[in-house]
Amino acid sequence: MCKNYELRLPMNSEGMRILHRLYEESRVLGVSFNDSIVVRVEARSDLINKMESRRGVEVLEYGT
**Fold of the CATH domain 2-62:** Alpha-Beta Plaits (3.30.70)
pLDDT of residue 23: 98
CA distance 12 to 26: 21
pTM, 2 dp: 0.87
Strands 27-33 and 58-62, by their bridges, are unpaired
Q: What is the pLDDT of residues 29-40, one digit of tens each?
A: 999 999 999 999
**51: amino acid identity, one letter:** M
